[in-house]
Chains A and B, each alone.
Chain A
Amino acid sequence: MDNQPIDQLPQESEPPIPLMGSFKAWYILLLAVLLAEIVFFIWFTQYFS
Chain B
Amino acid sequence: MSQIDWIVLCLTLLLILTYGLYKSCTSKNLEGYFLSNRNMPWYLVLLSIMGTQASAITFLSAPGQAFTDGMRFVQYYFGLPLAMIVISVSFVPLFSKLKVFTAYEFLEQRFDLKTRVLTSTLFLLSRGLSTGISIYAPSIILSSLMGWDIFWTNIVMGGLLIVYTVSGGARAVAYTQQLQLLIIFGGMFIAGYYVVHYLPDGVGFTEALKISGASGKLNVITTGITEKGFDWKDRYNIISGIIGGFFLSLSYFGTDQSQVGRYLTAKNNTQSRLGLLMNGLVKVPMQFFILLLGTLLFSYYQFNKAPVFFNGAVVDKAMQTSYAPALSKIEGEYNLLQANQQQYSRAFVASQQDADKLLVQQNRKSMDALQKEYRQVLKQAVPGADTNDTNYIFLRFVVDHLPHGLVGLLIAIIFLAAWGSIAAALNSQAACTVIDFHIRLQGKKHDIANEEDCLREYKVSKYYTLAWGIFSIITAELATGMGSLIEAVNLLGSLFYGVILGIFLVALYAKKIQGNAVFIAAIVGECIVVLCFLLDKWGYIGLGFLWLNVVGALAVVITAWIIHKILPASEKAQPVPVSAE
Contacts and interface: CB of A to CB of B under 8 A. Distances in A.
11 contacts: A3-B109, A5-B577, A15-B270, A23-B277, A27-B85, A27-B88, A30-B280, A34-B78, A38-B78, A44-B218, A49-B219
Contacts of B213: 47-49
B219 A7 contact: no
Contact of A14 (B218, B269, B578): B269
A11 B99 CA distance: 11
Given A7-B577, A18-B42, A37-B284, A42 B221 contact: yes
B576 A6 contact: yes
Contacts, number: 94
Nearest to A3: B109
Interface string B250-294: 000000000000000000111001100100110011001000000
Interface in A3-49: 3, 5-7, 9, 11-12, 14-15, 17-18, 23, 26-27, 29-31, 33-34, 37-38, 41-42, 44-45, 47-49
Contact of B221 (A1, A7, A26, A45): A45
B78 A23 contact: no
B321 interface: no
Contact of A6 (B84, B94, B269, B280): B94
Given A45-B221, A48-B218, A49-B219, A30 B578 contact: no
A44 B270 contact: no
Contacts of B110: 6
Contacts of A31: 81-82, 85
Contacts of B281: 29-30, 33
Contacts of A17: 270, 274
B108 interface: yes
A41 B507 CA distance: 37
Given A7-B579, A14-B269, A34 B284 contact: yes
B84 A30 contact: yes
Contacts of A48: 209-210, 212-213, 218
Interface of B: 42, 74, 78, 81-82, 84-85, 88-89, 94, 96-98, 100, 105, 108-110, 209-210, 212-214, 216, 218-221, 238, 268-270, 273-274, 277, 280-281, 284-285, 288, 576-579
- Decide if the interface of chain B is mainly helix, strand, loop or mixed: helix
Contacts of A15: 268, 270
Interface residues of A, number: 29
Given A1-B98, A26-B277, 10 more contacts: A6-B94, A6-B109, A6-B110, A14-B268, A26-B88, A27-B88, A30-B281, A31-B82, A37-B285, A44-B218
Given A30-B85, A30-B281, A1 B270 contact: no
B105 A6 contact: no
A11 B220 contact: no
Interface of A: 1, 3, 5-7, 9, 11-12, 14-15, 17-18, 23, 26-27, 29-31, 33-34, 37-38, 41-42, 44-45, 47-49
A3 B285 CA distance: 43
B200 to A, nearest CB: 19
Contacts of B84: 30
Nearest to A46: B221
Q: 8 smallest A-B Cβ distances: which pairs?
A: A48-B213, A7-B579, A41-B220, A48-B218, A30-B81, A34-B81, A45-B221, A45-B220
B382 to A, nearest CB: 37
B378 to A, nearest CB: 31
B411 to A, nearest CB: 31
A31 B89 CA distance: 14
- Decide if the interface of chain A is mainly helix, strand, loop or mixed: helix
Nearest to B108: A1
Contacts of A33: 81, 281
A49 B216 contact: yes
A49 B218 CA distance: 7
B538 to A, nearest CB: 34
A7 B42 contact: no
Contact of A9 (B98, B209, B270, B285): B98
B97 A6 contact: yes
B94 to A, nearest CB: 7
A5 B97 CA distance: 12
A12 B97 contact: yes
A9 B578 CA distance: 10
Query: Which of A9, A18, A38, A41 gathers most chain B CB within 10 Å?
Result: A41
A14 B270 contact: yes
Contacts of B78: 34, 38
A1 to B, nearest CB: 6
A41 B70 CA distance: 13
Contacts of B85: 27, 30-31
B576 A11 contact: no
A1 B98 CA distance: 9
A45 B221 CA distance: 6
B295 to A, nearest CB: 9
Contacts of B238: 38
Nearest to B97: A9
Given A7-B579, A18-B274, A49-B213, A23 B88 contact: yes
Contacts of B288: 37, 41
Contacts of A9: 97-98
A37 to B, nearest CB: 5
Query: Which of A6, A7, A29, A42 gathers most chain B CB within 10 Å?
Result: A6
Nearest to A10: B97
